[in-house]
Amino acid sequence: MFLLGHISDPHLGPMPSAKIRELAGKRVLGYMNWHRRRKTFHRGEVLSRIVSDLKAHHPSHIAVTGDILNLALPGEFAPSRVWLDTVGPAHDVTFVPGNHDAYVRKAAREWHSHWGDFMKGDTTGPDQFPFVRRRGDVALIGLSSAVATAPFMATGKIGAPQLHALPDILDKLAAAGLFRVILIHHPPITKPQHRFKRLIDAAKFREVLQKHGTELVLHGHDHINSVVYLEGPSAKIPAVGVPSASAFGGEGDLAAYNLYTIAKQGNAWSCKALTRGFHQGSDLIEEMGRRELMI
């Protein structure tokens, strides 16, 4: 049995001080939005309690699917590495970046030195996507959908190189008899009214999955609990999203995380999901639901 924890969108605070030149372009709007609104519901104490509750269940591995930062300011990177170390050692924690981690184009230059240990494959170096980490009978496949965008946009893009490499990776892992888990920040399906925050090449991504398969897709970005089923070569593929792990208010769901119990039964896999988090009107972390995902 393998127990996989999943959290996303921690949006670490507090916001560090910023120089005027660092707030040029898109950052100035984000800086104002943080101080006017977002800092009131992305709470550090909520995030600490979510992580503590997750770790109390002793997961085999923890996946963090992006948006560890807010504006990708220079002063945000070092604290984000400190926080990742509190979640667990790099061998036991896998991170993939989100759009806020690529808020401006030069932000990606900082990924390697601060997060490289958490987002490199067993046989590849940091910042090489897709990457694969094998842990027991589970293969974690890290994709990056994080790209810098214009103001008021939060779209993501996997890009042709990753989409070209992914089929061979999926086929080899399937041949090895592993349970494949794709980690990505943006969801593979977005409602039409939210097109400004969609995954631009989602259709091409779904085409790869329909032909080559995977057992599970985990994402964040929408800040809500969600499950959709994608077409696979022989069975439906669950794509599961979680809320921001620091949210206590705002437009999405309150902070929560998922635990997946993955087991092999003969030649078939089973995957059971447990959701724990905050309910409206309560400051207690409680069980919010259990479900058996169709594999």
What confidence tens digit (pLDDT) does each residue in 229-243 have?
999 999 999 999 999
Read off the CATH number of the domain in which 102 is found: 3.60.21.10
| pTM (whole model) above 0.85 | yes
* pLDDT (0 to 100) of residue 265: 84
CA–CA gap between residue 37 and residue 33 (Å, rounded): 6
* pLDDT (0 to 100) of residue 24: 82
Q: Indicate the SS3 state at residue 282.
A: coil
- Domain region containing 114: 2-293
DSSP-derived secondary structure letter, 19: -
Chain centre distance of CA 255? 14
Q: Domains in the chain: how many in total?
A: 1
* pLDDT (0 to 100) of residue 192: 82
Sign of the CA dihedral with 103 first, then 113, 69, and 17 last: negative
Ranges of the chain with pLDDT below 50: none
Partners of residue 156 on adjacent β-strands = 199
* pLDDT (0 to 100) of residue 267: 84
Would you report the helix, strand and coil content of the chain in percent, each value rounded to 5?
Answer: 35, 25, 40
* pLDDT (0 to 100) of residue 27: 94
Query: How many CB atoms neighbour CB 117 within 10 A?
Result: 17
CA–CA gap between residue 247 and residue 282 (Å, rounded): 13
